[in-house]
């Protein structure tokens, strides 16, 4: 049985296209907490897959999400400037894409998280507008529902308002994660664990 499984896995591996193999390699680097190297590999994939928005998206997303842990402003600016260039290319390839809008919103949120006093007022409206646009495009996308609800919860807490209505949206996002089907290979599917984490704290004031 072990030999059969090994042979089967070998056939799958051999059947992979260069695109699939490189994408999986890039995801592997990202999973090993090497976001910059992962982004560089996604960037190399874009040089071949010029009309595919996903490599541009992930080249940006790896840098954006890693930005939450960056403490040096110059380094953060370098990463996010690079990420923005990838997002701009992704938008050219796939306009009106809710996943890209969520990534753009996260780009702004990284700056707000880094220095709320400086960037909060500057970018808060932009984040809200991006989530509204994404919701119109894909109202049943779990990452859109989660992102908007989490942002709204943060704003409500900041102003001392009730968050219960937004907690229900987190519950809705979790339900959507359970039914969401990826339309293409490598389409974003992350977020359910984050939604569960947010829900576990939802309604609790700091």
Q: What is the pLDDT of residue 202?
A: 86
Total domain count for the chain? 2
154 and 134 belong to one structural domain: no
Query: Domain for residue 79, yes or no?
Result: yes
Give the integer Cα–Cα distance in Å for 1 and 195. 39
Q: What is the pLDDT of residue 15?
A: 62
Query: Domain for residue 1, yes or no?
Result: no
Helix (H, G, I), strand (E, B) or coil at 70: coil
186 contact partners, CB below 8 Å, separation of at least 6: 23, 54, 58
Q: What is the pLDDT of residue 9?
A: 39
Note down pLDDT in tens along the chain; length 206 residues: 443 434 333 434 456 899 999 999 999 999 999 999 999 999 999 999 999 999 999 999 999 999 999 999 999 999 999 999 999 999 999 999 999 999 999 999 999 999 999 999 999 999 999 999 999 999 999 999 999 999 999 988 888 888 888 999 999 999 999 999 999 999 999 999 999 999 998 866 54
Query: Domain for residue 2, yes or no?
Result: no
Q: CB–CB of 197/172 below 8 Å?
A: no
113 and 48 belong to one structural domain: yes
Give the integer Cα–Cα distance in Å for 65 and 104. 11
pTM of the model: 0.89
Q: What is the pLDDT of residue 25?
A: 97
Q: Which two tokens stand for residue 188?
A: 């974003």
pLDDT tens-digit profile of 171-194?
A: 999 999 999 999 999 999 999 999
Burial of 2 (0-12, 13-18, 19+ CB in 10 A): exposed
Query: Domain for residue 144, yes or no?
Result: yes
Q: Which domain holds residue 147?
A: 140-206
Could you say which of 87, 120, 138 is where a domain stops? Answer: 138
Q: CB–CB of 177/191 below 8 Å?
A: yes
């Amino acid at each position: 049985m072990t030999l059969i499984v090994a042979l089967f896995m070998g056939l799958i591996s051999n059947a992979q296209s260069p695109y699939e193999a490189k994408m999986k390699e890039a995801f592997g680097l990202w999973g090993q907490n090497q976001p910059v190297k992962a982004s560089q590999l996604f960037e190399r994939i874009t040089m071949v897959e010029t009309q595919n928005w996903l490599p541009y998206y992930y080249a940006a997303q790896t840098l954006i999400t890693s930005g939450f842990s960056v403490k040096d402003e110059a380094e953060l600016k370098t990463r996010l400037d690079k990420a923005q260039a990838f997002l701009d290319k992704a938008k050219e390839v796939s306009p009106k894409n809710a996943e890209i809008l969520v990534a753009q919103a996260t780009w702004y949120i990284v700056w707000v998280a880094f220095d709320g006093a400086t960037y909060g007022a500057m970018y808060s409206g932009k984040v809200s507008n991006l989530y509204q646009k994404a919701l119109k495009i894909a109202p049943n996308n779990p990452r859109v529902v989660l992102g908007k609800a989490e942002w709204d919860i943060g704003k409500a807490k900041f102003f001392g308002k009730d968050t219960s209505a937004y907690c229900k949206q987190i519950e809705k996002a979790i339900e959507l994660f359970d039914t969401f089907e990826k339309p293409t290979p490598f389409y974003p599917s992350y977020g359910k664990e984050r939604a569960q984490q947010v829900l576990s704290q939802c309604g609790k004031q700091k």
